[in-house]
Amino acid sequence: MPEKSPFVVDADWLQGQLGRPGLSIVDASWYLPAQNRDPKAEYDAAHIHGAIFFDQDLVVDPDSDLPHTLPKPSLFAQYVGSMGISADDTIVVYDGPGMFTAPRVWWMFRIMGAPEVFVLDGGFDNWKAAGRPVTSEPTKTAPNIFFTDFDASRVAGIDDVRKAIATGGSQIADARPPRRFSGEDPEPRKGVRGGHMPGAKSVPALSLSKNGYLLPVEALRRTLEHAGLDLDKPVITSCGSGITAAVITLALQSVGHGDNRLYDGSWTEWGGRGDTEVVTGKD
């Protein structure tokens, strides 16, 4: 059997763990407007037993004018503590199609200090398709205290990206679809230019999974290297607003690459400014 990422769990395992004390299940579904899916409505209609909905538009820094900016540790702790989650829990995160938005919340929990965090391989759509148990009943939880141990070294800001471009000290991996990377397709947010950062490598998030299942470790390594990444050197991951960049982060961590940071402002910040260099084309 091909080696699987140590950061994913399969549906058989999770179904066998349902109801176990110390297990927190998180529905982290989020969609682009073009996908025409309402994650909260879908959660209300059907979710895995015990799952809590994590609103990626709500659990953000309220003082930032960028979408999905990482909240301060104290605010993150307040949000997830109110969901009944402890940093000591075994936390399993899922989304609808699998390997789309769940890795962002996996990354958030990990950098906030939770050591046992996993992504459900295949996502909820495959869970339902297999006839596994779902419920529309609201999940009842008691508030908990989430003690954070924030690792700021896993987050990159715009100055870090400028330095990486100027010095070549870190590679930049962009998770957006190829035609947005090249500038052929417009960005979904108004006022954001098309294209990519100088020297960035195109690593589309969807290239790292198949039918919602993360590729095996060796296939992840081949895909990352084929995209032009040197896995012996540091990497900064990026995307549209910091969500699917975490799919690359998950892939990097899965192959044993530890020197990586996620650019939280991502392309919405970079492409929305007038003082940043933008490159178009496939390279």
The answer to whether residues 23 and 50 touch, using CB atoms and an 8 Å cutoff, is: yes
Q: Is 239 a catalytic residue?
A: yes
Q: What does residue 38 show for φ and ψ, rounded to 5 degrees?
A: -105, 105
Token duo for residue 170: 């870190």
Q: Residues 6 or more apart from 191 whose CB is under 8 A from it?
A: 272
> 25, 239, 247, 255: which one is catalytic?
239
The answer to whether residues 74 and 81 touch, using CB atoms and an 8 Å cutoff, is: no
The answer to whether residues 114 and 5 touch, using CB atoms and an 8 Å cutoff, is: no
Indicate the pairing of strand 171-174 with strand 235-238.
parallel
126: left (phi over 0), alpha (psi -120 to 50) or beta: alpha
CA–centroid distance for 28 within its chain: 9
Distance CA 79, CA 129 (A): 31
Task: Give me the active site residues, please.
Answer: 239
